[in-house]
Amino acid sequence: MLMHLISLYLATYVCNALPVKNEYQHYLELNEVKSFREYVQIDTSKEENLKYAVDFLIRQATDIGLPYAVYAPAGRPIFVATLTGDDPTLPSIMLNTHMDVVPVDEREWLYPPFSAHMDENGDIYGRGTQDTKDVAIQYFEAVRRLKKDNVTLSRTLHLTVMSDEEGGGKYGIKAFIKTPEFKALNIGFALDEGLASRNETLFATYVDRRPWQMEFVVHGEGGHGLAMPDESAMEKAQRLINAVMTYREAQKEKMKSKTRTEFGQLTSVNINMINGGLAPNIIPSSISLVVDMRLSTTADIQEIQSLVDSWIHKAGNNTDVRYLRRDTVSEYTAVNDTNPYWVSMKNTLNNMGMKIIPVVCPATSDMLVLRNLGIPALGFTTKTNTIPRLHAKNEYQNVKTFLDGIRTYTELIKNLGNVPHEQQTSSKCGV
């Protein structure tokens, strides 16, 4: 009897002492999660690695049974996979994402930024987990499910994956829209990346802020570090910085009365790069600063230009500016009953028990280019209860959030693919 009790005690002790398996561990065996992690593990912050992303996308399309094409009108790849609808003459649905991601400083990350490491909470870390490799995989997996279930779509779907979105689109969508291959897609509506939500509310972005990215170069007297010349480049740079930061503080003050979803209604400005100097004992003869502005939807172009000109004047003579990007127009897509695609999206999500609200995109996406062509386009993502970390350290997405998103996209795409042809809409509509 005593030996039996001892055996029971030891068995209980051993069981309790064994490590409990991570409750999220089994998700790593799902093909959807494997694909997501593999895609994130491709470091597409480097242009030379885009070819590996294309190889990955080709495998995805081939596995699902989708015909595909790869274009490079400006030297960088653009991937298009297609699911043909029952009526190919109808304007098609474009499901757009981008394969490129912004660079990282690995020293700031909890885990290697291209490892797609999943922690004990089920959070998958990596550059692109929010912006925007998740959405590409969710599109593919949603289409896979629609095909498996023999769902009929009247409209053709095009899964498009751009490069150079992060660089402004010069080598991506801006080049692609000029090609006959793009025109042949016959796009009637486009869906693209959206905003992560800290709660259960979903967002639809219907207009992007206009980006102005400027490189200022101030010139002054250089020389030996022992001297203190008048009108040095650093003095001019300081005056320029002060002018920009004064405007920035005024905008920050206005933001205090706004919610996070209203930030897109204001103009933001940041000095993101400063370069100058050759050695510790040489006074630099020039210093460059890169300023990133995102213009509010109501900002007057002439007023903004006058503001920039005033910064140059305050910096002083021999100050140059080069516009890296200067978008003056950003059209709206209607988010009311005149837009059947918006109605389909809203009804689909509401019927699934979800709330969606239209907001201004505080950043800039490829959809700005499409809307300016007159193509209705909305930004959307399923990342709820997620801390937004686009372009930030420790970008992540929870594995369950990712998988739930596939289910949401499956319903959404099914209904968008069957929007009746009776009504068409343009991006150039009111809210």
26 is in an annotated binding site: no
98 is in an annotated binding site: yes
193 is in an annotated binding site: yes
Q: Which two tokens stand for residue 403?
A: 């998988």
Distance of alpha carbon 164 from alpha carbon 124, whole angstroms: 24
Q: What are the C-alpha distances in Å from 89 to residues 45, 124, 181, 305, 416?
A: 38, 41, 16, 44, 16
Classify the phi-psi angles of 164: left when phi > 0, otherwise alpha if psi is within -120 to 50, otherwise beta: left
* Rg of the chain (C-alpha set): 25
Looking at this protein, which amino acid is placed at residue 312? I
Work out the number of other CB atoms within 10 angstroms of the CB of residue 334: 22
Sign of the CA dihedral running 171, 177, 182, 185: positive
Sign of the CA dihedral running 324, 392, 307, 364: positive
Distance of alpha carbon 341 from alpha carbon 90, whole angstroms: 14
User: What residues are labeled active site?
Assistant: 100, 165
Task: Name residues whose C-beta falls within 8 Å of residue 303's C-beta, 6 or more positions apart in sequence.
Answer: none
Q: Which segments within 76-126 are labelled E, that is strand?
A: 78-83, 92-98, 117-118, 123-125
Q: Which residues pair with 293 in a beta bridge?
A: 212, 269
131 is in an annotated binding site: yes
Match 């499956």 to its residue by tokens. 410
Classify the phi-psi angles of 353: left when phi > 0, otherwise alpha if psi is within -120 to 50, otherwise beta: left
224 is in an annotated binding site: no
Binding residues for Zn(2+): 98, 131, 166, 193, 391
